[in-house]
Structure 1
């Protein structure tokens, strides 16, 4: 992949056509091209905004596209055989986003479109997959980028109240997020809307969470006692 991979790999066109006749133009990167730590087989990803090439191209028609590319595996994921895709994490996210689409979500992204393609000869693993997942674009920025703990206490209180409402809705859909953190919570100051993103890792929610304070701590929205060791820190977040 090289030491300094391009913002968008040169084997991916700027206009991405889909089997249903819709095409999307790639716009602004939201996450840089990098290897993924989770999922099988090994893959890299990049996340960008995009818009349909037909019709009005205003910001209201923007979406988010997550592109994943199979790469050669290492010790943890040794398979170097080209596969059709998608990866386990992409399949998991597809299932969640379809649920949210069917429920007409306002608290999470929803599935818009999806396709798989075969890597060309100049890809990192020729013959391996490239997947293109299009989802709705939510307003605001992540609380990590917005320096949540530097915000006024009144705003943080408002965020936590709105977040709990959004999270309860997610649980009502039978989904318990696993990858919890400020980077996966969006806040829009203009609309006062709080939403949750990134559902590559989740499990079936058997019941609603009972300890609201502990759940807020798990997501980094409230302070908690320092963990005694690495395992305890991991368990606080991922349970």
Structure 2
């Protein structure tokens, strides 16, 4: 069982207003935090299993200089101290430092690069990314901090509106999701993080976007055939007690 730390890893005083210059030439200013999450583990998990504690946050950023849209989403992956050590001196926390690229950040860059190169309209396009090391006044001096800038696609988080949708809109969302899933798959990637939180619904355009590509796998030919069970996998439908997985007409829609 993972116990939350209740620590704010990305404090507004440190991040709001921060300007970040990226390798391709654009500079972005962090305007507001959308959300943050943590995966925090104990010392034994790190030393015996190589598991790294990490915090992630997504921000809305405004363009200061360079190419790209006026606003974007900037996602940050950052190593954090293992459980119970956040209050230690910086020199002690620095002993935990891992400098290599975090797997979640690396995978998201890979997935978005593939989708962007393919011209996919159903996922954010990648603008830029960079890897750095934390400074002495951050959580793990010398530990990794990883930044990704991506398109801010329109829409609402499906997990916040799903229970308030009428059946007709739920049907529209499912149809739009199928179209977007097929497009992303045709472009070469399949998301392994099938949750409502990773879908955005543009009600005006009847468009569904797949976001958060931190876990994906390449789409081989055998993976590209649509199955209505994808609705259940993504919590866009339920089989129900008397339902049949092979008969969508028996599902709770």
TM-score under structure 1 length normalisation: 0.81
CA–CA separation in structure 2 for the residues paired with 1:177 and 1:104? 17
Structure number with higher helix proportion? 2
Structure 1's unaligned 5+ residue stretches are 227-239
CA RMSD of aligned residues (A): 2.9
> Could you tell me how far 1:150 is from its partner in structure 2?
2.1
Deviation track 1:60-100 (CA, whole Å, cap 9, x = no partner) reads 621110011112345xxxx9642323201111111100001
SS at match of 1:10: helix
Give the C-alpha shift of residue 54 in structure 1: 2.8
Residue of structure 2 aligned with 1:131, choices 140, 146, 156: 146
**Deviations 1:157-180, CA, capped at 9 Å, x for gaps:** 111111101001111122221110
Matched, 1:43 2:54: yes
In the alignment, the residues of structure 2 paired with residue 201 and residue 3 of structure 1 have an alpha-carbon distance, to the nearest angstrom, of: 25
The one of 68, 75, 79 equivalent to 1:66 is: 75
What is the count of residue pairs matched by the alignment? 219
Q: Which residue of 2 aligns with 1:232?
A: none
Give the C-alpha shift of residue 16 in structure 1: 1.1
* 8 A Cα contact 2:23 2:129, kept in partner: no
User: What per-residue deviation string (whole Å, max 9, x for no partner) do you get for residues 31-64 of structure 1?
Assistant: 13x313799633111101112113899xx62111
Instruction: Write out aligned runs for 1:39-118 (5 A).
Output: 41-54=52-65, 61-73=70-82, 81-118=96-133
Q: Could you say which residue in structure 1 is the equivalent of 2:185?
A: 171
Match of 1:201 in 2: 215
Gaps of 5+ in 2: 42-49, 84-93, 242-253
How far did 1:15 drift?
A: 1.0
Structure exhibiting the larger radius of gyration computed from Cα positions: 2
Partner of 1:192: 206
> Is 1:161 aligned to residue 172 of structure 2?
no
Matches of 1:129 and 1:153 in 2, distance apart?
A: 45
